[in-house]
Amino acid sequence: MTRTNDIILRTTTTLIAFILLGFSIYLFFAGHNKPGGGFIGGLMTSAAFVLMYMAYGFRSLQKILPINFRFVIPVGLIIAVATGIGSFIFGEPFLSQTFAYFQLPVLGKTELATALLFDLGVYLTVIGVTMTIILTIANDRGEER
């Protein structure tokens, strides 16, 4: 399949994709205190990937991100479940979350919450799910039919 020369799209994509990724990571980290969170962050990240896919095609996307998104789903789920199970170590019920404030070298006084780990699980799962669905359907050229 020959492609038309869509240089404008590709050029803007290189820029926009990074802004999108940055924004999605902001959303993910801000989730606990501002609008955002793992779900929206994950969707936004996949939006950036989808944009890259649309501009450069599947092969290039695979070269940039040599990830099989299907395996991202179980990784995310395992992280989410593991944070739940982790609360057993401290004798707490399943999925008990806690938080504390730490003095970190660069960031200064920072709040670290176990909920963020759980959100990471959500984040990864959502990325895996969205990308799997979109890439599966988009790459289906109906070979079998």
Contacts with other proteins by CB under 8 A lie at 27, 30-40, 43-44, 47, 70, 73-74, 76-77, 80-81, 84, 94-95, 97-99, 111, 113, 115, 118-119, 121-122, 125-126, 128-130, 132-134, 136-138, 140, 142, 144
Q: To the nearest whole angstrom, how small is the minimum distance from the Cβ of residue 83 to other proteins?
A: 8
Please report how the helices 114-138 and 69-89 are oriented relative to each other, as an axis angle in degrees rounded to 10.
160
The DSSP output letter for 134 is H
Q: What contacts 35, CB < 8 A, 6 or more positions away?
A: 27
User: In terms of CB distance, is 35 or 105 closer to other proteins?
Assistant: 35
* Beta carbons of 100 and 114 less than 8 angstroms apart: no
Q: To the nearest whole angstrom, how small is the minimum distance from the Cβ of residue 143 to other proteins?
A: 10
Q: To the nearest whole angstrom, how small is the minimum distance from the Cβ of residue 136 to other proteins?
A: 5
| Run of H or E residues at 103 | strand 99-104
